[in-house]
Structure 1
Amino acid sequence: MNRLRLRRAVVVAGAGAALLLTAQPAGAAPTDTVFPIPIAVAGFTPPGFPAAAAGHVVASTDPEMPGVTRFTARALCCFFVHWRNHSTGAADTVFVNHTDAGYSSADARTGSGPVVATVTASTGSPGYPIVTVLPGAGGWMVP
């Protein structure tokens, strides 16, 4: 009878040790997801010269701020991100504007789960239209 108890204890202890050694760390690091499809725009600058720009948008998430996504792009001035959370059905549009730090950034309460988004350009200044030639797009998981 004692051998059976000892054998069970060894099996349970071994299984526990195996779980501890193979477990992932509890605190995950913030994650940046670069949209695989960049946004491309064309238009006119305020002096009236033709211009074009393209850039990738980054969706950043942090487990310490669940349900929040920060959208950032360095090559673009102002753009809209149209997102949808496939777990909750929530959807919205966030306007990302240029900051003094030299990049465009905005936070959105997307909720946790798989989220997809498309990116389009703003219309530009009056008299100097900007059009979206290629809308950006991407998907990521929000903690």
Structure 2
Amino acid sequence: MSAVPVDTVLPVPVTGNTLSFQYATWMGICQGRAIARTDTATPGLTYFRMETGCTGTVHWRNLTTGATGDAEMRATNSLQSPPPAAAATGSGVLVATITLGIPYSTTFWPGMGMWTVP
């Protein structure tokens, strides 16, 4: 019997604006929290996604090992959606800041949080 994956909603949301050139120039405010998913079946990996329609980048640091990295985050409006590709964060206690996606966005306030990876 294995444990179910754990979703940790990082407590400080990221806020900023985004521009879209797909149909016409459009600017909107984007705010959302990052979700870090871990699973005992895949130790040392973290899956990131946003709880809203925003995209962003997670800038993480493993406090246990000292490893650092960046991971792109896709948007999802459902906790049942499959997570994106895994980031090899390593096992331990992790902290992160989150900025909005590039290239056409400005982060006013970065998101933040911490979680534990098995």
What's the TM-score once normalised by structure 2's chain length?
0.82
Change in CA separation of 1:123 and 1:103 when aligned onto 2, cut-off 3 Å: farther
CA distance in 2: counterparts of 1:132 and 1:104, whole angstroms = 23
* Cα pair 1:94 1:106 within 8 Å, conserved: no
For residues 13-70 of structure 1, give each alpha carbon's deviation from its aligned partner in whole angstroms, at most 9, with x where no partner exists: xxxxxxxxxxxxx954321110100111213322123211111110010011100111
For residues 86-122 of structure 1, give each alpha carbon's deviation from its aligned partner in whole angstroms, at most 9, with x where no partner exists: 11100011122458x9887342111111000111113
SS of 1:108 mapped into structure 2: coil
Counterpart for residue 132 of structure 1: 107
Counterpart for residue 56 of structure 1: 33
SS of 1:92 mapped into structure 2: strand
Bigger CA drift: 69-78 or 109-118? 69-78
SS of 2:87 mapped into structure 1: strand
What's the TM-score once normalised by structure 1's chain length?
0.69
Between Structure 1 and Structure 2, whose CA radius of gyration is higher? 1
Larger RCO (CA under 8 A, 6+ residues apart): 2
**Structure 1 gap ranges (5+):** 1-25
* Count of matched residue pairs: 113
CA RMSD of aligned residues (A): 2.4
Question: Is residue 97 of structure 2 the alignment partner of residue 118 of structure 1?
Answer: yes
Identity percentage over the alignment? 37
**Structure 2 gap ranges (5+):** none
CA distance in 1: counterparts of 2:58 and 2:97, whole angstroms = 6
More strand by share: 2
* Cα pair 1:74 1:103 within 8 Å, conserved: no
